[in-house]
Structure 1
Amino acid sequence: MCKDYVYDKDIEQIAKETKEKILKLLTSTSTDISYQQFMSSGVGEKQSTSESKEEEPKLVKPKKKRRKKSVYTVGLRGLINLGNTCFMNCIVQALTHIPLLKDFFLSDKHKCIMTSPSLCLVCEMSSLFHAMYSGSRTPHIPYKLLHLIWIHAEHLAGYRQQDAHEFLIAILDVLHRHSKDDSVEQEASNPNCCNCIIDQIFTGGLQSDVTCQTCHSVSTTIDPCWDISLDLPGSCATFSSQSPERADSTVSRDDRIPGIPSLTDCLQWFTRPEHLGSSAKIKCSSCQSYQESTKQLTMKKLPIVACFHLKRFEHVGKQRRKINTFISFPLELDMTPFLASTKESRMKEGQPSSTDCVPNENKYSLFAVINHHGTLESGHYTSFIRQQKDQWFSCDDAIITKATIEDLLYSEGYLLFYHKQVCRRKKMNTNQ
């Protein structure tokens, strides 16, 4: 009647007792080695389950070696699928590997003032981070997180298949609303300014410049954004057929697979000047009349974590389809060419390009990739997560296995997460 979701306490008790029984079995010497490998996230050397029972004690005994390797899996923990909840699990894996979020939640910096803390998503995320970094190898069951998402983002309630990108924006929005009171150093002159942990990490500034084609006056607006959604070749907004002359100019040094559309190509298309046409005239403030114009998007402010959404799901009229175009993406990304300041410096003759001044401040490193497998009607989400510098793992709900760079770079990316690199200012030679 109140649209709330209630758990069956009897079933929860049965689940708890069953879990305790399984844990007791795991600690016994008769544990099946294949299950031990599953619980160790695939980091230990895999042994065949068909080996003789005489050899089994030898296989179970060397636990010290496994503990040595477990240092690479701290923070990596499987997540149980609660019924078409792979979209949630892959986003949780990405969020729990953001250093600033990890520091915030593990140091208990959140101060909850909600009348009912049990309904606070930030409190639950804090518990989730502690669970993910507890060192436990048993898969975590994120039922409380799912429950709160159903309450605070009703459009995601139920066991239907959901979109991982939609879930990301929804969870960031709820976390943003529930953590506003944690903001520090807010600008007194701007009461609407939020400095919560979500805004500190994810918020960038997207600049839109609309230029009148008659008098060339420019109208500029800057909007906050948590992610950038990019069109792909093969979509209705494809750029491969509309601008073939750009083919040679979009080759990037960061592309890993030559001759294939890249993330850089998508960003160049996103930040191109777009002629709005006669059907979309705007009223020019200088001409005081409706005129044709061009529009160009650039980044005014770069976030600490940049999330790129590759628009693989297209809805045109009544038709819905998935775009399977392979897009190559780099391990390191330089966002300097897509900055508003870069565009402005290019427009001023004789001015040095910003790429010569701050070569490292706008560079990012890839740390998580979300993949969608299957079709619109029947699909599944998995993720690749970077652990330390060159350690990559594949997360498929409760199962975590080690992955290679090739597995990562040849995957069909859907959401790409990049973290801003630590600024290393070069000492400029005054003689140059």
Structure 2
Amino acid sequence: MGSVNSTGNKWERTLAADLPEDEKYFGLENFGNTCYCNSVLQALYFCEPFRKAVLDYAGERRISQSVAVETTEAASSASETMLTALADLFTQIATQKKRTGTVPPKSFVSKLREENELFSSYMHQDAHEFLNFILNNAPPNGLLSNSTYDKLSGDEISSKTFVHDLFEGQLSNEVRCLCCETVTRRVESFFDLSVDVEQNSSLTACLRSFSSTELLEKQDKFFCDACCSLQEAERRMRIKKLPRVLALHLKRFKYIDQLGKYKKLSYRVVFPLELRLCNTSDDAEDPDRLYSLFAVVVHVGSGPNQGHYVSLIKSHGQWLMFDDDCVEPKDESEIQSVYGITQDNAQSTEAGYILFYEQKS
């Protein structure tokens, strides 16, 4: 991204002029290899409905613990989880008296390493794998918005969390038999979408490719229940339910058979500040929903097993770069520098890796 001259002075001017006094902008200390964790945590913290849900959970937990003490029950009855560790970290940031500074997320990282062996080593880790782990490990009695809660049955309430409320979408996997024209649909849930990337393309083109029609033939024929036999068929994926927060993972690490290892694809992929999905199903609700980009997790480096992660965050109209414990303002035009590289310009290794969009009200 390059450095900003007089970063400190520009940062203070930005804070005073453009950003609300009650908002906190704290970098996170890196414990050797935890940039993958820090970059995603910043994106989640500045996802306002996610932050509110986590802080609300923290408040409810404090109340329940106080009641437990008053009634001589065990105050530690609520066991430590990834969510309680996350709630403690978010609370630590939100209650700081200063507007800027650094927080050491030591307790959170310790809990993470305890819960998942994948992150227990000090080797380079993958930010997308960490995001998946966080979103899939909210406890089943998590927080729901009232509108979602009212629509659910008792069994559904026990398994849905505020993560589902915000990030969950649905894919319709559609297979059309080319013999009898019968269409078979299977609905699958997702918290983020992983899309393949191509050189000199756009996010919209990547999404179109994600939902392109695939011919099932030869050894890949589809068993059609109507025909009671294997038949040639066409398959495609469409987005049936659009999430409130859309997380898009650009698949920049690909296994190359000839090399016998993974390689980073630093291809130039242009992604817009505002997005409408082009690959929704015919029965999707609000298919023209407009999304606004608010965070980008960027991978810096030439390969999948080395490098660094930073995050670009939009807060109250101002773009900022969070590079572990360093925070500095950025101009919106600088987002273009993390699209990736063209074949004739291999100087930069900065490439957008995870994109976070929120629906515009």
- Structure 1 length as normaliser, TM-score? 0.69
Shift of 1:413: 0.9
Determine which of 207, 230, 240 is the counterpart of 1:267: 207
Q: Distance in 2 between matches of 1:289 and 1:382?
A: 51
Determine which of 32, 43, 59 is the counterpart of 2:11: 43
2:264 pairs with 1:322: yes
> Conserved in 2, the CA contact under 8 Å of 1:84 and 1:159?
yes
Per the alignment, residue 149 of structure 1 pairs with 112
2:159 pairs with 1:187: no
Q: Closer, same or farther in 2 for the Cα pair 1:75/1:118, shift >3 Å?
A: farther
Within a 5 Å distance, the mapping from 1:44-123 to structure 2 comes to 44=12, 71=20, 74-107=23-56, 108=58, 110-111=60-61, 117=78, 119-123=80-84
Per the alignment, residue 192 of structure 2 pairs with 227
Shift of 1:196: 1.2
Structure 1 range deviating more: 125-134 or 136-145 = 125-134
Q: Given residue 296 of structure 1, which amino acid in structure 2 is its aligned partner?
A: R
- Structure 2 length as normaliser, TM-score? 0.82
Q: Closer, same or farther in 2 for the Cα pair 1:77/1:296, shift >3 Å?
A: same
Per the alignment, residue 253 of structure 1 pairs with none
> Conserved in 1, the CA contact under 8 Å of 2:85 and 2:107?
yes
Q: Closer, same or farther in 2 for the Cα pair 1:182/1:330, shift >3 Å?
A: closer
> Conserved in 1, the CA contact under 8 Å of 2:54 and 2:90?
yes
1:304-353 Cα shifts (integer Å, max 9, x gaps) = 10011000001244221010101000000012x3111279xxxxxxxxxx
Q: Closer, same or farther in 2 for the Cα pair 1:189/1:218, shift >3 Å?
A: farther
2:285 pairs with 1:341: no
Q: Distance in 1 between matches of 2:17 and 2:193?
A: 40
Structure possessing the higher radius of gyration over alpha carbons: 1
Q: Given residue 145 of structure 1, which amino acid in structure 2 is its aligned partner?
A: F
Shift of 1:110: 4.8
Q: Given residue 355 of structure 2, which amino acid in structure 1 is its aligned partner?
A: L
Within a 5 Å distance, the mapping from 1:154-193 to structure 2 comes to 154-175=117-138, 178-180=139-141, 182=143, 184-185=149-150, 187-188=152-153, 190-191=155-156
**Secondary structure of 1:174's match?**
coil
Shift of 1:116: 5.7
Shift of 1:159: 1.2
Per the alignment, residue 377 of structure 1 pairs with 305
Per the alignment, residue 329 of structure 2 pairs with 402
Determine which of 228, 231, 243 is the counterpart of 1:291: 231
**Secondary structure of 1:162's match?**
coil
Q: Which one has a larger percent strand, Structure 1 or Structure 2?
A: 2
Shift of 1:122: 1.6
Within a 5 Å distance, the mapping from 1:237-316 to structure 2 comes to 260-316=200-256
1:281-321 Cα shifts (integer Å, max 9, x gaps) = 12100110011211110111011100110000012442210
Q: Distance in 2 between matches of 1:129 and 1:89?
A: 12
Shift of 1:149: 1.2
Per the alignment, residue 251 of structure 1 pairs with none
Task: Identify unmatched segments of 5+ residues in structure 2.
Answer: 1-5, 66-74, 339-350
Shift of 1:194: 3.2
Task: Identify unmatched segments of 5+ residues in structure 1.
Answer: 1-36, 46-64, 235-259, 344-353, 423-432
Q: Closer, same or farther in 2 for the Cα pair 1:221/1:70, shift >3 Å?
A: closer
2:95 pairs with 1:134: yes
> Conserved in 1, the CA contact under 8 Å of 2:125 and 2:305?
no
Determine which of 294, 311, 324 is the counterpart of 1:367: 294
Total equivalences in the alignment: 323
Shift of 1:73: 8.3
Task: Give the percent of matched residue pairs that are identical in Structure 1 and Structure 2.
Answer: 28
* Structure with larger RCO (C-alpha < 8 A, sep 6+): 2
> Conserved in 1, the CA contact under 8 Å of 2:53 and 2:143?
no
Q: Given residue 169 of structure 2, which amino acid in structure 1 is its aligned partner?
A: G
Q: Closer, same or farther in 2 for the Cα pair 1:400/1:230, shift >3 Å?
A: same
> Conserved in 1, the CA contact under 8 Å of 2:319 and 2:329?
yes
**Secondary structure of 2:198's match?**
coil
**Secondary structure of 1:93's match?**
helix
Q: Distance in 1 between matches of 2:85 and 2:10?
A: 28
- RMSD between superposed Cα atoms in Å: 2.7
